[in-house]
Amino acid sequence: MRLKSPRLAVRAVVLHEGRLLLVNAYADGQSDLLCAPGGGVETGASLPDNLRREMYEETGLHIEVGAPCLVNEFHDPDGSFHQVDIYFHCQLIGSPQIDPAWQDSENIVSQWHWVTQAELARLPHKPDSLGQVAFAPAGQATYDPLEPIVK
């Protein structure tokens, strides 16, 4: 039996005035879990190009993609889902304001939050190492090993 390859995704670590941008991770309020904006990689486009596309689709914001800062894996222990996320430090181009009427093209993201490090610590989010990576001085990339998916 041939196993399905993991899904590859890219995510943006965007700080503005000491706050990290997070989005809801599941459509229709299925969960209050938050994550960094981003999503699946499309074949034929670079990782930064995919990330710029995903960021705009989910938030309407434009970014400059910097260096990779985290590789995270998660999976469904009871199923076949396995995803590898590559996180990049990013800088906003233009305003940090997200139009409250913005519509994610895939109708998944409907909430946007700019949170401080203290607020992040109290909110359900994935991966567990996101705060450590986002609010630490830029440096060496981090690997966050396989963790179970949470809903």
**Is pLDDT of 2 > 60?**
no
pTM for the full model? 0.91
| 130 phi/psi in degrees, rounded to 5 | -60, -45
Distance CA 3, CA 133 (A): 31
In this predicted model, what pLDDT tens digit does every residue of 118-129 receive, in sequence order? 999 999 999 999
Task: Check whether the bond before 100 is cis (ω within 30° of 0).
Answer: no
C-alpha 144/C-alpha 126 separation (Å) is 11
Distance CA 51, CA 56 (A): 8
Q: Which residue has the higher pLDDT, 128 or 2?
A: 128
- The more confident residue out of 144 and 50 is 50
CA angle 80, 82, 86 (to 5 degrees): 170
Per-residue confidence (pLDDT) for residue 78, from 0 to 100: 85
Identify the structural domains of the chain with CATH numbers, from first to last.
Answer: 7-148 (3.90.79.10)
The DSSP annotation for 1-29 comes to: -PPPPPEEEEEEEEEETTEEEEEESSGGG
CB contact at 8 A, 21 and 4: no
Least confident residue range of 30-34, 36-40, 83-87: 30-34
Is the per-residue pLDDT at 3 higher than 70?
A: no
b/e map of 90-118 (b: 16 or more CB within 10 Å)? Answer: bebeeeeebeeeeebeeebbeebbbbeee
State the average pLDDT for the chain: 91
Q: Which of 59, 65, 148 minimizes the C-alpha distance to 100? A: 59
